[in-house]
Structure formats: C-alpha cells, structure tokens
Amino acid sequence: MKFVESVKYVGRKSLVFSFLLGFLLVTGAWADSRVDTVISSAWKFNKADVANAQQPGFDDTSWSTIDLPHTWNALDGEDGGTYYRGIGWYRKHCTIGSENSGKRVYLFFESVGITADVYCNGVSIGHHDGAYAAFCFDITGAVIFGADNVIAVKANNSSPFVFAPLSGDFTQWGGICRSVHLLITNPVHITPLDYASPGVYLTPTNVSSTSSNLSVKTLIRNAGTTAKDVTVRATIKDANNSTVGTPLTLTRNVAANTTTNFIQNTTVSNPHLWNGLAAPYLYKVLVEVQTDGAVVDSINQPLGFRYYSVNSNTGFFLNGHYLDLRGAAIHEDRDHKGRAISDADRQQDIQIMIEMGCTWIRLAHYQHAEKIYDLADETGLILSTEIPLVNLISATQAFSDNCQSQLKELIRQNYNHPSVFFWGIFNEITLDGNGPNPTALMQKLNTLAKAEDTTRPTTAASDSSNTHSITYITDVLGFNKYFGWYYGAATDFAGWADGIHASRGADEIGVTEYGAGASINHHEENPPEPADAGPWHPEEYQNYYHEVLWKAMEARPFLWCKALWNGFDFGSDGRKEGDRHGINDKGMVTRDRTVKKDAFYWYKANWSNTPTVYITSRRFTPRSQNPRYVKVYSNCENVELFINGESKGVLTSADHIYQWNSVTLRQGSNEIRAVGRIGTSEYIDVCNWNFGTLPAVTITSPAEGATLPAGDILIEATASESGGGTITTVEFYI
C-alpha cells in the first residue's frame, strides 16, 4: 500500500476517515452504501505531450510527483510574460479490492483545465471540454479488481478552443485544479452521471413562513442485468437532525441498464426560513435507496426555504424584507497557486468578505468549487454564479452546444444550494461588429436556464449599450461600469445611473463591476486619476474612487445589486501595469491575502456592524513633506486623532470619513493614533509615519539597450509626492 487517502461514506450520516485504498473493502454495515474516496496524493506529472502515456506499463518514474489540486501555471501564469498553454499528463496507480467486483466504479473530477481525456488501464473512458465544472465517468468496464489500476489524464489548456471562454481578463490555468474522487456504488444507486450532479433535485415552491411545497426528484440507475423493485425514501431533517414530518416513500420497478426518475412531493408547515447572514437556517434531505430489503445507497443534500424578489425601483427583497445586496466579485485564484487552491483558502476568502460586510458574492467568471457554495449556504452569503461565456462568441454549433452543456452542469451541480439566487449566462459579450451577433445564443441560453430551473431568475453582466436588445434578455441585469478608471470621471456614475433608471424604469438594473487598481507600495496625496494601464497605481486614488462610487450607489436603492471588482487581486498574465505585471490589482485585498487595502476598510466602515476605526495611507512612509491630511474610516459615533500623544480634535461624520487637515509631523518617527467611540467603548487604530528629508539621489540613465558594466545596478525611481517630485519609491533591478 503506497498511500493514504481520505474517504467519505455517505449514508445515514457523513464521516471522513483515513484509509488504505488498496484495502478498499465494503463489508458489514458498509455494504449498503457508496464509498467516495478522494485520490489527491502522489500523482505523477509531466508538462508535455507524451506518446503512450495512457498505457499501464508506461515508465513514469522520471516524472514529477505532485498532489492535487495542481496547475502547471502557478508561477508563469502570474508573471506578466507568456505562460505555458499546452498539454500536461497525470498518472495515478490504485488498487480496488476484489470484494468490489459487481459494483460500479466511477471517476469524479471536480475540475480539469481546460480539456480532459481520461483513461483507465489504457482504455479511453471519456473526454470533457470546459475548465470549471465537475464531470464523472463510469470506469467499471476498464477496472481490474484486486489488481493495480492506472488512471491517466491528458489535460490541455492550449489556445484557441471552440468553447467558452474564448478570451478573458484572467489566466487560463491548466491542470487538475481541484480534487479527483473514486466513487464505488452498488448496481442500483443514485446516478452521478446526470451532468455530475448529486442526482437529487430539491425544489421548494410557494414558500412562506407558514408553509412551503417541496418536490424531491431522485434519479435512480439500475446498472444490473435484471429489473429491480426500488424504494426511494426521502427524510427531511432540521438543523438539530430531527425528522420533519413523515418521510416520503415511493416504490417503482426499474428495468436493467436504465435510469428512472422518482418524484416525491410534500408540504412543510411553518418552515424556518433561510434568511441570509442574519439567520442561514439549513435543513437537509436524506435520500435512501432500498432494494431486496436493504439500503443500497444514500446521500444528504442541503435544503433552505426562502423567497425573494427584485423590484426595479426599490431593489432586492429576501423573505419580504429589503436587503441591500452589496458585495464583491471574486476569482478562484491565489498567489503562486493559480486556481489550484485549497478548501482552507476558500474558507479564508469567505471569512474576509464577510468581515468586509458583504451580503452577496458574484462568483466570476465561471463555476467555482462546491466548497464555496457549501460555505455560502452555512454563512448566509447570497450568490450569483455564472458560466464562462466572456467577451467573445463563436457562431459554430459546437460552441453553442458547449455553452448549453456548461450551463446544465452549472445548474444541475448547484441546484440544491439555497445560497444560489441567480444564474448568470454571460459577461461583457462583444457587440462592436467584430464578431457574430450574440443575440440568438443568449436567448437560447436564457430559455435553457429557465427550463432547467423555474425558481431562480437569470442574470448577466453587461458593458454594452443601454439600449441594445441583448442587454435585457435576462430576468435581471447587472452593468459593469468603470467611470473614473477606463473612461470618464468617478463622479459621472451618478448621472449614468439616474439616466438609465429614467429611461428603463421597468427593468431591474444593478452594478456587477466597478473598480480601480491600487498598489500597496504606491502612495500620493490627492492623486489625479492615473493611467489604468500605467505603472503608477496609488492606493489613495482607489480610496477616492470607491468613496465616490459607493456614496452614489448607497443613495440609489433601485440598484438591486452592487458588486465591486474585485475582492482580491488576481492573476491575469497579459496585464503589465501597477507595481507587478501579470496581476489585476483592483482587489480590496492583496493576492496573497496578507494585506487588506485601505478601500477594504472603507467598505467595512460602511457595510459592517463591527466597530471599525482605520487610518488610511498608513503605508505612506517615510514622508519628506508634512501630510496635507490624516483620514480615518470609521463607523463610530465620533473619532479623536492623536499625533505623538497630542489630540488634534474630535470629529463626527455623516459619511464614515473623518479627516484632519494641515497636520505637522516631527522629525523621525511619529505615532498616529485614532480613537473611535461608541457610548463609553473605545476602538483604537495606530500606525507610525517616519518624517524627514530624504538623501539626495543621483541617477545616471544608460542609453536604451546598453549593457551595464559588471557590478552596476540599474535603479528605477518614481516621483510619488504630488508636485514635489521627491523620490520616495525606488525599485532595484540587478
């Protein structure tokens, strides 16, 4: 036995334990249920196409040994150069005990970027196109029970493809970017082959605080050779694991080698509503499959009862009460990891966004890992989730078919999550005449989404004309607007919002993107708008930008959603701007999650009930000139500023901004202390600024293209104080 993996038994309750895969035994009490084993350790990897790599006898001893999740672009996909887009091979040895002969064996992939060809013992078992959804193959016919089996995966992120996304402002990571599962079931079981969904669909309708209808649809596969009488038992459990009402039972005869739908309906009285962050109450439904007098399969699925609406004038309502849908779009992305992030990373991201005060998250620009949906269910964050139909389309039937397939995967795999409120079908589709007209495809996708799920509205993120027909295909709409960054001034946003509301008053319109880049190493007092693609992205401009935009949005409740771009800096290898190439730096938090930018605390002061006091421009040190102001973000009743222990006065504020002007520092270190007060409680923030005359720097520029003598250092310096021209930021290149 070469490795230890985690395995999940999904029966009357779930548990996770360690287990030697070579001894994959299903006996006694375990004989009646599925075994779901995560096989993530000790894969062999080679970043190149290799002939016959799928064959069991292929010699992979010279290949790297890696654990999943994995991407081969973890470093070159974030450096601003070119990154490898091609083929990578993965191989894994595993033994499946002979005791499992007669059962079904599946390989379940949470994600492979971007295409996958999967083999078992040299036999091709399936191909999948699309980097972000899960997929599942039945490998039973290729398995050798009681012997070594070789799983081989050929992943490919070459460009161009004939499916979405054809382009996008994010790196197209290659590799097995999430976990792989080995799933073993009895011949009669809940199928995992319906677009890799759970095989159970829970549909609450007519929801109120007094009652709710519930439909439970279960897809039963009989992979055996004879027909079977099958009973499906569905039991609703509350948050205390107590049974709600009477379990539902339905018996049908399922023919051999067929899949049959079991549909059961009930009414739940006085349901405890899932009410967002305030009270994310979760039920679950345990679905058990019985045949020949025994339980042969079972799974649990989350269930939440809630109702909601969007009004074109007054915004979003959850369970009959107004809820300000404010939050951020986020990518599945980390520094030096790319998309190959862990569930612990996802947990941290959700915690950070909740700390900032988000009530909703836009999962951009593709289907994220299931863990995010689980976390949102549990915490009460509302989600919008979407397929990766970004920018460009193709007029081919293959492209259309794949978009529809990715939409079915998105919806069916995440159907039961109460945190999912909106299905997104496109982002910023090009309408400039340089490509096919997208209208017919968008209409087809919108119709498909509504056929797949009659209970949730469709949405999209548009940067198109306010009047183009594609803009209003979906039930509700968000606009991506960058006044003050890519065009216009930040103050232009208010006029745009009022104008479109006046002209399209019956349409539910929100904002799905707005933002400005910022480096935590670039600082300038009262900066003018910088060049969006330039090297200078002062943090203070991002602060100003978000102050203006949020004030405008807060005053306009007809905007049903407001999602800033982005929660976190993320990899976009084609970008060459700010202080680091290969990164989109519009995040509220740095890509390594170590620094929350000033703007993060602007939103925390506005959105969160947690007492907040934060001194802005804290990283603007050393300084060679006295600051023109000290600015604090806070939601306290008042804030007092102290410099080196001396009070500079107590201020109140109606907009969470507290600013003291014309402040004098002393030579050397200065303690800046802000004390916020709510009643008799105090909340304190402290930073230190160094003040003094910087030494003169003499710079000699070599001729362009010249070779520096050995030992010389090239220094690039940027003037970072408005009007002063004083060099305070120096970057060394050796």
**CA 716 to CA 468: how far, in whole Å?**
46
Q: What φ, ψ does residue 150 adopt, rounded to 5°? A: -115, 120
- The secondary element (H helix, E strand) that includes residue 439 is helix 439-452
Q: 22 exposed, middle or buried (CB, 10 Å; 0-12, 13-18, 19+)?
A: middle
Beta carbons within 8 Å of 332's beta carbon, 6+ residues apart? 177, 339, 341, 366, 368, 369, 372
Strand partners, 328: 361, 564
What residue type is assigned to position 219 of the chain?
Answer: L
3-state secondary structure at position 598: helix
Chain Cα centroid distance, residue 500: 29
DSSP per residue, 339-387: T---HHHHHHHHHHHHHHT-SEEEE-SSPPPHHHHHHHHHHT-EEEEE-
- The secondary element (H helix, E strand) that includes residue 631 is strand 629-634
* Angle in degrees, CA 250, 252, 255, rounded to 5: 150
> Which residue, among 81, 91, 112, has the nearest Cα to 43 in the 3D structure?
91
**CA 289 to CA 463: how far, in whole Å?**
48
Helices and strands in the chain: count of H runs, count of E runs: 7, 44
Residue 370: how many other CB atoms lie within 10 Å = 18
State the catalytic residues.
428
**CA 521 to CA 578: how far, in whole Å?**
9
